[in-house]
A and B are shown apart, each in its own frame.
Chain A
Amino acid sequence: MSKALIDLIKKNFASAVLETHALYGDETAVVEASAWKEVARFLRDNATASMDMLTDLTVVDFPEREPRFEIVAHFHSLTKGHRLRVKTRTGDSEGDDAEVDSLTDLWASANWLEREAFDMFGVVFRGHPDLRRILMYPEFEGHPLRKDYPADKIQPLIAYRDVPNIEKVAPFSVDEGMSFGRQTHSRSRHDTDDSQVN
């Protein structure tokens, strides 16, 4: 069923489709960032596809790739009962220029999903009516789900207290966030053998 959808996209957006695959039964099409919104609009309005629901929209960060971010949308048609995953890629290796068109005027669910993607990865959705942080607080710096954001970094909203005669008052210091045993991906990829991992 979804195989036909892939063919349909290929037929209508021949130049924009970068690759397609069907891993574990999930049909996927990767499209050019410039065609992102047009493909989405086509999937919604086309009678065969009729994707009336944008189930999920998220981002995966691949710091060693260029373009760096992969924007992943899961579409679902309630009337036809089929699903399709559409992805696009954007952003340079520094994470800048990560921009893609917003889908907010096609599906209302895109509003919060894109806000979350912006908050967590710093991907900018052009044309979004209200692009501000949603899960993190406005004063937060950086984008926590990027691979190069250290997981044990803390950004307290209230300054460290300096209390005389008391050894320690939490939060203690920037380095004293929670730390877990296993390495993060960014460390294992970016740090070569000779560099020090602190």
Chain B
Amino acid sequence: MEPLDQELDEAELEMPTEPMLLNVGPAHPAMHGTVRCVMELSGEIIEHVDVQVGYLHRGFEKMCERGTWSQVFPYVDRCNYVSPMLNNVGFALACEKMLGVTVPERCQWYRMILGELARMSDHLTCDGAMAMELGAFTPFLWMIKAREMIWDLMEEETGARLTHSFGRVGGMASPPTEHLKENARAVVKHILSVIDECEKLLLGNRIFLDRLEGVGVISQADAISLGWTGPCLRATGIPYDVRKSSPYLKYGEVDFDVPVGSASDCFDRFMVRLAEMRQSARIVEQCCERMADSGPVNVSDPRIILPPKEEVYSTIEGTIQHFKIVMEGLKLPAGEVYSYSEGGNGELGFYLVSDGSGTPYRVRIRPPCFLITAGLERVITGAMMADVVPSFGSLNMIGGECDR
């Protein structure tokens, strides 16, 4: 019997080598909901990838130009919604830099306690989600349960679990509660035990290690050129941390280390975050020791801080002061400022332009995530399709911050 392919040339018998175009996201479990990757695959190897963001763009920078400076706080809350307190404090610091005021010491310690707890919740989420995406569901549940304790504490302090809007220019919305130190110590103790347990569970697991080690590697030079900051940059071995290099609040007075990685792979990024939580725990403990139990939290400048309610209702000065701040808004002097602090994912910058009226002229939020996500293309090109999941997870892209 004749062969069926006798009419074909030799060349046509070869396997087709056309690359396959694969679309992952924006609604894909591994893409956390808001990123789309259009990949060109050759077999399982990613040859080209186009990372598309913007699915969570809500026009915050435009909205900020329509309110008062204080009305920006709810927007920055919704940028990095896993650690909103860090954004609140970052924006407050930018405004205070422009006004030339420094908040009282007690407030600085208070901001640090809440900020470090927020950082822990950020890292718990990232490491937990990373483990879950690789099939380890138990550590995820444990870590999220621990994060819930942080959010309970935040609710106790601020009244809201997630979007606190608790920062104010020149202070905080309310003074610390009576049980803050007690609660913070209890939460930190629990988190440290959860981290230890999860570490034992994951780091002895061959599958987990094989999926992370040597995956998603980026060179130091590339990371710097891409503008990476935070845990992702530190995983490449560069000890850049805003809290150390240009200390704000009281970070210059507390004792903590900056953990760095060496291989700059997904495993290092995971480990840097774990180590940073332990450092945050140290900072919280030191802040609890040094924060005074009484004393002013807000600056005493009546042009910046709203008067107490009883004065608003009983004195003419209080009423006018309240009216001017609420109706005209806080007046920042004309000019521009760039202020930066260490957010959950790296250097969180605010570039503010004021024209001297009560309304912001331009609020530019420099999101660490945006630049880290820009590097995703470089991280996963040439890798296997399955490596996208741990690589993307370890970058901790937060849609709200990336897209604003």
Query: Which residues in A have their C-beta under 8 angstroms from that of B224?
Result: 52-53, 78
CB pair A185–B54 under 8 Å, yes or no, is no
How many angstroms between the C-alpha atoms of A149 and B61 in the bound complex?
13
Task: Please state if B66 and A151 are interface contacts (CB–CB under 8 Å).
Answer: yes
B225's contact among A109, A113, A180, A185, by CB below 8 Å, is which?
Answer: A109
Interface size on A, residues (CB 8 A): 39
B222 interface residue, CB < 8 Å from A? yes
**Would you call A56 and B238 a contact (CB within 8 A)?**
no
| Chain B residues positioned under 8 Å from A116 (CB to CB) | 370
- The 8 Å CB contact of B374, one of A112, A137, A184, is A112
Report chain A residues within 8 Å CB of B364. Answer: 56, 58, 60, 72
**Chain B stretch 206-251: residues in CB contact (< 8 A) with chain A:** 222, 224-227, 238, 240, 245-246
Contact status A26-B53, CB under 8 Å: no
Instruction: Tell whether, in the assembled complex, residue A53 and residue B61 are in contact, meaning their CB atoms are under 8 Å apart.
Output: no
**Which residues in A have their C-beta under 8 angstroms from that of B361?**
60, 185
- Of the candidates B67, B97, B238, which one forms a contact with A180 in the assembled complex, judged by CB atoms under 8 Å apart? B67
Enumerate chain A residues within 8 angstroms of B68, measured Cβ to Cβ: 182
What 1/0 mask marks residues of chain B from 334 to 378 whose CB sits below 8 Å from any chain A CB? 011110100000010101010100010110101000110111001
| Minimum CB distance partner of A107 in chain B | B225
B337 with A24: CB separation less than 8 A: yes
| Given contact pairs A24-B97, A144-B59, A145-B62, A60 touches B226 in the complex (Cβ within 8 A) | no
Q: Is the CB of B226 within 8 A of A85?
A: no
Select one of B67, B335, B349, B371 contacting A23, CB under 8 A: B335
Is A23 a contact of B336 with CB atoms below 8 Å?
yes
Task: Tell me whether A135 is interfacial, beta carbon within 8 Å.
Answer: yes
**Does B312 sit at the interface, judged by CB under 8 A?**
no
Q: Given the complex of chains A and B, what is the CA–CA distance between A83 and B336 in angstroms?
A: 15
Give, as a whole number of angstroms, the nearest-CB distance from A88 to chain B.
14
Query: How far is A111 from B364 in the complex, measured between Cα atoms in Å?
Result: 18
Residue of A nearest to B52 (CB): A134
| A136 interface contact, C-beta 8 A | yes
Name A131-172 residues within 8 Å CB distance of B. 133-137, 144-145, 149, 151
Q: CB < 8 Å: which of B227, B374, B375, B403 contacts A135?
A: B403
**Cβ B53 vs Cβ A134 within 8 A:** yes
B65 within 8 A of A: yes
Complex contacts, B351 vs chain A, CB 8 Å: 56, 58, 72, 74
Does B189 lie at the interface of the complex (its beta carbon under 8 Å from any beta carbon of A)? no
CA distance A182 to B224 in the complex (A): 41
Q: Which residues of A contact B65 (CB under 8 A)?
A: 151, 184-185
Residue from A109, A133, A149, A182 within 8 A of B226 (CB atoms)? A109
Secondary structure at the B interface, as helix, strand, loop or mixed, is: mixed
| Contact call A24/B61, Cβ cutoff below 8 A | no
For A14, list chain B residues within 8 Å (CB). Answer: none
Task: Tell me the bound Cα distance from A116 to B365 in angstroms.
Answer: 12
Asked if B145 is an interface residue, CB under 8 A from chain A, the answer is no
Q: Which residue of the partner chain, among B226, B338, B347, contacts A108 with CB atoms under 8 Å?
A: B226
A54 located at the interface, meaning its Cβ lies under 8 Å from any Cβ of chain B in the complex = yes
B21 within 8 A of A: no
Evaluate contact between A108 and B222: CB separation under 8 angstroms: yes
A58, A83, A112, most chain B CB atoms within 10 A: A112
Q: Using Cβ atoms and an 8 Å threshold, which residues of chain B touch A107?
A: 225, 227
Cβ–Cβ contact B359 & A60, under 8 A? no
Asked if B299 lies at the interface with its beta carbon under 8 angstroms from chain A, I say no
A-side contacts of B362, CB under 8 Å: 60-61
Chain B residue nearest in CB terms to A106: B225
Q: Are B335 and A135 in contact (CB under 8 A)?
A: no
- B residues 57-86 near A (Cβ < 8 Å) are 57, 59, 61-63, 65-68
Query: Which of B52, B335, B347, B371 has the largest number of chain A CB atoms within 10 A?
Result: B371
A151 touches B62 (CB 8 A): yes
The answer to the question of B98 belonging to the interface, with a C-beta cut-off of 8 Å to chain A, is yes
Q: Residue of B at shortest CB range from A186?
A: B65
Most A CB contacts (10 A, CB to CB) among B62, B227, B355, B366 go to B227
Output the nearest chain B residue to A146 by Cβ-Cβ distance.
B62
The docked-state distance in angstroms from the alpha carbon of A24 to that of B65 is 22
Q: Which residue of B61, B336, B340, B349 has the most chain A CB atoms within 10 A of its CB atom?
A: B336
Cβ-defined partner of B227 (8 Å) among A23, A81, A109, A144: A109
B371, A135: Cβ atoms closer than 8 Å: no
Known A107-B227, A136-B54: A180·B66 in contact at CB below 8 Å: yes
Q: How far is the CA of A49 from the CA of B359 in the complex (A)?
A: 36
For A60, what are the chain B residues with a Cβ–Cβ distance below 8 Å?
A: 353, 361-362, 364
A20 within 8 A of B: no
A109–B351 CA distance with the chains assembled, in angstroms: 17
> What's the Cα separation between A139 and B65 when bound, in Å?
25
Query: Are B62 and A108 interface neighbours, CB within 8 A?
Result: no
Alpha-carbon separation in the docked complex, A133 to B50 (Å): 13
User: 10 interchain pairs (CB within 8 A)?
Assistant: A23-B335, A24-B98, A26-B336, A56-B338, A56-B351, A72-B364, A116-B370, A134-B52, A136-B54, A149-B62
Given contacts A56-B338, A109-B226, A113-B371, 17 further A-B contacts (CB under 8 A): A24-B98, A24-B337, A26-B337, A53-B225, A56-B349, A56-B351, A56-B364, A74-B338, A133-B54, A134-B52, A136-B54, A136-B57, A137-B54, A144-B59, A144-B62, A182-B66, A185-B65
Question: Which 6 A-B pairs rank lowest in CB-CB distance, beginning with the nearest?
Answer: A109-B227, A135-B54, A112-B374, A108-B225, A135-B57, A56-B366
